[in-house]
Structure 1
Amino acid sequence: MNNNIKTILITGGAGFIGSNLCEHFLNKGFNVRVLDNFATGHRHNIAPFNNNHNFQLLEGDIRNLKNCHQAVEGVDYVLHQAALGSVPRSINDPITTNDVNVSGFLNMLVASRDAKVKRFVYAASSSTYGDSESLPKVEDVIGKPLSPYAITKYVNELYADIFSKTYGLETIGLRYFNVFGRKQDPTGAYAAVIPKFVIQLMKHESPVINGTGDYSRDFTYIDNVIQMNELAMTTSNQKALNTVYNTAVGDRTNLNELLNYLKEFLAEYDANIGNVEIIHGPNRAGDIPHSLASINKAKILLGYKPTHKIREGLREAVSWYWSNLK
């Protein structure tokens, strides 16, 4: 690695969001180091970077404090993406979710503190809003968590706040709202809804919507998330530090609308997809009915300007899936 340029550690760098961050910051000339245990990430996501002299992979686990200390050595910034996502996964296996998302998170904070890392930016979650019914979601108004996963992500925020106040570690949490885009895995029991729907439609299989399809989400394209990570990492505004931000678009789309968009864009490649029937199933445990973010705080303190709304993001995502998975 080039020692004269800034080094970023991306935990979970072989995952969907992590690998997109790797690509972005390597293209910007940073040294990028990845710590990943490949529990949910994929080697093919980072394979294109293996020949880049500014890229380094450490295979390890955030639940191992020694691995965390090795990973942060000589690092300027940490972008902590490693976690076990998925509400249903956490309901099925709360212990492993807690081990990774809480104990692993604490290990990374301790290692970052010990290494005197300049700033620790971490993936928080919109699930922290829990049973709060207020819309749009504003950062300082939250409810009670509705799943073990949501508890773990809220605990992350509490720990980050304590490390900022007690040890002077600069932290910023990004509450991701339903992120989607290139490299998001369509396979597996806990696949996110957009890639799962896309792959089903491409096979002319009927997607199953949980409930009536009226539940809505602030679907957020990956490029907006990359922008927020970069702003959080590089901001010189002291008022912007040691807090959390909604990372979203500030728009909501229900599942029926989402599927109509997907059918519209995929039908440009295969007209028969427009005729695929949609099936409705039962609602899913732990799901909140509606989610919509206020992004005013990020706009004011970080200068955030989302580049993709739902239609632009879906069109790009569909193009990527068609090119890479057909």
Structure 2
Amino acid sequence: MMSSTNTAVLITGGAGFIGSNLCEYFLEKGYRVTCLDNFATGHRYNIEPFLANKNFKLIEGDIRDLNTCNAAVAGVDYVLHQAALGSVPRSINDPITSNDVNVGGFLNMLVASRDAGVKRFIYAASSSTYGDSESLPKVEEVIGKPLSPYAITKYVNELYADIFAKTYGLETIGLRYFNVFGRRQDPNGAYAAVIPKFVMQFMQHESPVINGDGNYSRDFTYIDNVIQMNELAMTTQNPSAINTVYNTAFGDRTTLNDMVNFLKLFLSEFDAEIANVAVVHGPNRIGDIPHSLASIEKAQRLLNYHPKFSFQQGLKAAVAWYWDNLKKE
């Protein structure tokens, strides 16, 4: 295992949900951490506690600007690239901006990392890359056609990373995130993820709306498992483990109906009335896949990945965090 002392890590999108959790973790482990963020979807309050840390540096800037990317990677050993415009619906509403950020910005970061001699480039890939493939569980080598502009952008990331590894010798590892949830995930806005959004609605005794009949299932993945995968990807010395992609998940699936029932159960420990809040069902959402379940065998075999948090364990921890941090309006 590498020494964290004097090891410099750049986390793009470091003020976002996943990025800020990565910043916190690697600062605690003694790394020098640079956060690059334009605050389009990230929040200053996510990184506020780190600003006084001598090992933390904030660069406010946009990955669509190559000069900014070059400045951010200067003196950096590892890049954890989280910056992106997430959300399938957002990409359907505005495919051009999603492409500019997720493809153009990604390419800028690859070029800057190559030119700066970065040791390894680890990036947030996406389970959306599996597209219309119906096989379950999802294995890394079997994908379908993308079902949204967002999914296309994340697949293009993988293609570019592969070319940069083969053509320029830049070590790359892609992590296909599966429905990540946990502390600091934003419950507000049109593109809020389902778990924090539902938590906020339940806390306000509002009925959440499930898209479809609730039998769609997801491999919900707690944030600490994602941090674990990023660290393994960054520190692995196994030559067979680099220049490839990995599912980043728990390896189990939960229906939306079951997820809501667990949410009500855990939240009603804080407020008994939540157990009585009704759930509403709406139409299915365009671009949604019915079922998502990751095989984590490849990550287990090559990275020695053994996720620490099951869905229920993670959800219980997330609910407790939201209860402490979301103020009732």
Question: Which band: TM-score by shorter chain?
Answer: over 0.9
Q: How does 1:101-112 map to 2 (within 5 A)?
A: 101-112=102-113
User: Residue in 1 aligned with 2:74?
Assistant: 73
What are the superposed Cα offsets for residues 162-198 of structure 1, whole Å, 9 maximum, x if unpaired? 0000000000000000000000000000000000000
The residue matched to 1:121 in structure 2 has which SS? strand
Aligned length: 324
User: Residue in 2 aligned with 1:28?
Assistant: 29
What are the superposed Cα offsets for residues 188-236 of structure 1, whole Å, 9 maximum, x if unpaired? 0000000000000000000000000000000000000000000000000
User: Residue in 1 aligned with 2:241?
Assistant: 240
TM-score by length of 2: 0.98
The answer to whether the aligner puts 1:99 opposite 2:128 as a matched pair is: no
What are the superposed Cα offsets for residues 9-41 of structure 1, whole Å, 9 maximum, x if unpaired? 000000000000000000000000011000000
The answer to whether the aligner puts 1:162 opposite 2:163 as a matched pair is: yes
User: Residue in 1 aligned with 2:313?
Assistant: 312
CA distance in 2, matches of 1:34, 1:249: 27
What are the superposed Cα offsets for residues 65-107 of structure 1, whole Å, 9 maximum, x if unpaired? 0000000000000000000000000000000000000000000
User: Residue in 2 aligned with 1:214?
Assistant: 215
Greater than 2 Å deviation, 4+ residue runs: none
- 2:67 is aligned with what amino acid? K
Q: How does 1:144-223 map to 2 (within 5 A)?
A: 144-223=145-224
User: Residue in 2 aligned with 1:12?
Assistant: 13
- 1:305 is aligned with what amino acid? H
CA distance in 2, matches of 1:18, 1:311: 23
The residue matched to 1:323 in structure 2 has which SS? helix
The answer to whether the aligner puts 1:117 opposite 2:118 as a matched pair is: yes
The residue matched to 1:171 in structure 2 has which SS? strand
The residue matched to 1:277 in structure 2 has which SS? coil
- 1:322 is aligned with what amino acid? W
The residue matched to 2:281 in structure 1 has which SS? strand
Kindly indicate whether the alpha-carbon contact (under 8 Å) linking 2:36 and 2:61 is maintained by their aligned counterparts in 1: yes
TM-score by length of 1: 0.99
The answer to whether the aligner puts 1:54 opposite 2:55 as a matched pair is: yes
User: Residue in 2 aligned with 1:138?
Assistant: 139
The residue matched to 2:246 in structure 1 has which SS? strand
The residue matched to 2:122 in structure 1 has which SS? strand
CA distance in 1, matches of 2:182, 2:264: 16
CA distance in 1, matches of 2:172, 2:19: 18
CA distance in 2, matches of 1:250, 1:200: 28
CA distance in 1, matches of 2:112, 2:118: 9
What are the superposed Cα offsets for residues 101-153 of structure 1, whole Å, 9 maximum, x if unpaired? 00000000000000000000000000000000000000000000000000000
CA distance in 2, matches of 1:283, 1:22: 36
- 1:268 is aligned with what amino acid? E
Deviation (angstroms), 1:4: 6.1
User: Residue in 1 aligned with 2:283?
Assistant: 282
CA distance in 2, matches of 1:308, 1:270: 25
- 1:246 is aligned with what amino acid? N
The residue matched to 1:70 in structure 2 has which SS? helix
- How high is the sequence identity, in percent, across the aligned residues? 78
CA distance in 1, matches of 2:176, 2:311: 18
Kindly indicate whether the alpha-carbon contact (under 8 Å) linking 2:5 and 2:30 is maintained by their aligned counterparts in 1: no
Gap runs ≥5 in structure 2: none
Kindly indicate whether the alpha-carbon contact (under 8 Å) linking 2:241 and 2:303 is maintained by their aligned counterparts in 1: yes
CA distance in 2, matches of 1:231, 1:211: 37
CA distance in 2, matches of 1:14, 1:138: 31
What are the superposed Cα offsets for residues 270-296 of structure 1, whole Å, 9 maximum, x if unpaired? 000000000000000000000000000
The residue matched to 2:237 in structure 1 has which SS? coil
User: Residue in 1 aligned with 2:259?
Assistant: 258
CA distance in 2, matches of 1:4, 1:132: 43
Gap runs ≥5 in structure 1: none
CA distance in 1, matches of 2:224, 2:262: 19
The residue matched to 1:102 in structure 2 has which SS? helix
CA distance in 1, matches of 2:258, 2:241: 35
